[in-house]
Amino acid sequence: AQKITQTQPGMFVQEKEAVTLDCTYDTSDQSYGLFWYKQPSSGEMIFLIYQGSYDEQNATEGRYSLNFQKARKSANLVISASQLGDSAMYFCAMREGRLNSGGYQKVTFGTGTKLQVIP
């Protein structure tokens, strides 16, 4: 079973509009973290936002916010006021596991959503 599912291979949004990129996850761990990354055509992977499983408030970073619905196991990224520079691939990722007591951590990525912002 897929650990991270991004069901939207591609999306279009009008400049200055808001857009939501979907992400659902699957884990049996109680302690986990969810990430969103942006990958422009140049290839680098840019960290956008992080949500811990115990964080009660939804994470926000500037124009990015993470709509975390724990019971539904979803962690959607909302980009407000889209800009042309937002055109890129967006990846949702999850970190499971503990480092305490010799534990491990594994980070799994979804297949990505290609966002194109239209002027």
Partner 1 sequence: DSGVTQTPKHLITATGQRVTLRCSPRSGDLSVYWYQQSLDQGLQFLIHYYNGEERAKGNILERFSAQQFPDLHSELNLSSLELGDSALYFCASSVGLKTGTGTSGNTIYFGEGSWLTVV
Per-residue x/- mask for partner 1, residues 13 to 52, rule CB under 8 A?
-----------------xxxx-x-x-----xxxxx--x-x
**Tokens found for residue 25:** 């996850």
Radius of gyration over every alpha carbon of the chain, rounded to an integer in angstroms: 14
Q: Which is nearer to partner 1, 14 or 40 (CB)?
A: 40
Q: Which is nearer to partner 1, 93 or 117 (CB)?
A: 93
How many CB atoms sit inside 10 A of residue 84's CB? 10
Q: Exposed/middle/buried for 115, CB within 10 Å: 0-12, 13-18, 19+? A: buried
| Footprint of partner 1 on 59-118 (CB under 8 A) | 59, 91, 93, 95-99, 103-109, 111-112
Q: How far is the CB of 71 from partner 1 (least distance, A)?
A: 17
